[in-house]
Amino acid sequence: MINRRKFLKLAGSGAITLISSAAIPSQTKSFALSTQTTHTQVEADLIINIRSQPGQVPIFSGPKTNVWKYSAEVLAGDPSSITDMGDESYLGPIIRAKKGQRIRIQFQNDLPARSIIHWHGLHVPADMDGHPRLAVPAGGQYTYEFQVQDRAGTYWYHPHPHGRTGYQVYGGMAGLFLVSDKREEDLNLPSGNYEVPLVIQDRTFDSDNQLVYLPGGMMSRMTGMMGDSILVNGIPDFRLDVSTRVYRLRLLNGSNARAYKLAWSDGTPLTIIGTDGGFLSRPLKKSSVMLGPGERLDVWADFSKNVVGDILHLVSQSFTDGVSGMMGGRHMGRGMMGRKQNLLNGTKLNIMNVRVIKKENESRKLPQQLVQEGSITPNDTLNPDTPRKFELSMFHMHGLINGKSFEMTAVADDEIVEAGTSEIWEFKNTNQRMGMMGMQVPHPMHLHGAHFRILERSGVSLDSYMDEGWKDTVLLMPGERIRLLVRFGQHPGLFLYHCHNLEHGDAGMMRNYLIENKSSTTNRFQVT
């Protein structure tokens, strides 16, 4: 196990001395658990400045769109650790790191609002996780120091200030965090121009090309923000030009609330090689795959059978999310400017066009074994027969988990777990009647500080879940119940579990749980 103590040290505000992008920590240094009142400095392999600030991007012709955007620069370490998404995109740069790397990220919040960055899917110490209690004010700073301990995979970063996460992410604040490792290198997957990050989001724009957030008032808070335009990497009508060969597509559903039922328009199955927490043990073919907000997919896309001139579409097929009936068909919550109707969750959509433009010969084969891993079963958990149960509901304008809304630092007695252990957790999306105040809606549940496997679903209404592999976010449609085998990280402290429908999280469908480390005398939890 990687131990953060091995690489952090207390130091003055001097220059960084050790920089080596490939190094795995070998030196032992003592450190004090950093708080933001002491200035700690990492002996880091990678040092990055990230700034969040208002900006303008040319999304459409005509007026530029006002956005909030992350920008970054590498201060020390491999300069290719950051890839800008371009001036036309509001997305933050892609951060690339290697497993084992020690990273220091200096966050400068130049938004006119409180904010904090969360590293979605990464196991980091509790005070490095971007918990809302750590949000810094406009003009404030926060320094992150952590070692990348997760497997190669598609992770991401976004703000997490309580009550404002949906607004800030919608405004443009999100980016990918790609981790690589030795195993990934050995797999020799398509890379460079053949490895394509695809962040799928929906947005509503007014006639001046400006973002419209929650135009439908209370109802759109309940469903979450559903935009009427689909953007990929911040670009509407996204087109990918490809050669007749294999591509690796790394998909993130970065939407606030919309789920997608992804499929190729020509009926070719999707070949899935990875999910939230990295590679599956072996590739999986599915005719369509649900991707809820926050979830990721690593896709092997083989265009070698295509010919130049072919056009394919990545689409989202229609599905029923349980809300449409109540919404009175397709006409409620219409867009503010009357441009288009607000598209309900489950509406059939085009996500992007793929145009085959070049002939290339390639003899790449899909690896049959991606990663090797020992099996883990319910009997390896602390509670094989007595799952911890969580009921999800919306009531009045509050999101509830077991009847409780988010409290900034509170943890209930049944929200305490032990570091490094595994438990069965069960989430239930209550199928309550749609009265005036209650409502059935999908809930994509997400855990910080832990990864999980999906053991079983019941009450299932859809056939296109991809429930293999290690996950950190899982979609529950109304009436569904899901059993997870959760493996908690080694870092003690307060971590969140919440609905990744960002409007639901902001409405309180979020709680803390506490990871305790009983075997350690020094790591007892303290609220900082």
Q: What residues line the site for Cu ion (CB under 5 A)? A: 120, 443, 448, 499, 501, 504
How far, in Å, CA of 513 to CA of 216, rounded? Answer: 33
DSSP string covering 206-223, please?
-TTS-B---TTHHHHHHH
**DSSP conformation class of 293:** T
**Residue nearer to Cu ion on the CB measure, 198 or 499:** 499
- In Å, what is the CA distance from 234 to each residue of 50, 67, 85, 203, 291? 19, 11, 9, 9, 18
Answer with the entry of Cu ion, ligand C2O, none that 401 interacts with (C-beta below 5 to 8 A by kind): none
**Closest residue to bound ligand C2O by CB:** 120
**Stretch touching ligand C2O by CB under 6 A, among 11-19, 265-273, 390-398, 494-502:** 494-502
**Residue nearer to ligand C2O on the CB measure, 155 or 300:** 155
Binding flag, residue 120, ligand C2O (CB under 6 A): yes
**DSSP conformation class of 519:** T
Q: Which of 215, 274, 277, 294 binds ligand C2O (CB under 6 A)?
A: 294
Is the Cβ–Cβ distance between 105 and 81 less than 8 Å? no
C-alpha angle 226/228/231, rounded to 5°?
A: 95
How far, in Å, CA of 52 to CA of 364, rounded? Answer: 40
Residues 444-483 binding ligand C2O (CB under 6 A) are: 446, 448
**DSSP conformation class of 404:** B
Q: Which of 69, 98, 114, 118 binds ligand C2O (CB under 6 A)?
A: 118
Answer with the entry of Cu ion, ligand C2O, none that 158 interacts with (C-beta below 5 to 8 A by kind): ligand C2O
Answer with the entry of Cu ion, ligand C2O, none that 223 interacts with (C-beta below 5 to 8 A by kind): none
**Residue nearer to ligand C2O on the CB measure, 371 or 514:** 514
Q: Helices (DSSP H) in 140-216: which residue ranges? A: 165-170, 182-187
Answer with the entry of Cu ion, ligand C2O, none that 443 interacts with (C-beta below 5 to 8 A by kind): Cu ion
Which residues in 276-359 belong to E strands, given as ranges?
278-286, 289-291, 296-302, 311-316, 349-358
The site that binds ligand C2O (CB under 6 A) totals a number of residues, namely 10
Binding flag, residue 158, ligand C2O (CB under 6 A): yes
Answer with the entry of Cu ion, ligand C2O, none that 496 interacts with (C-beta below 5 to 8 A by kind): ligand C2O
> Cβ 401 to ligand C2O, closest distance in Å?
13
Residues 264-283 binding ligand C2O (CB under 6 A) are: none
**Residue nearer to Cu ion on the CB measure, 131 or 388:** 131
DSSP string covering 430-475, please?
------SSB----EEEEESSEEEEEEEEES---S-----S-BSEEE
Contact residues for ligand C2O, defined by CB under 6 A: 118, 120, 158, 160, 294, 446, 448, 496, 498, 500
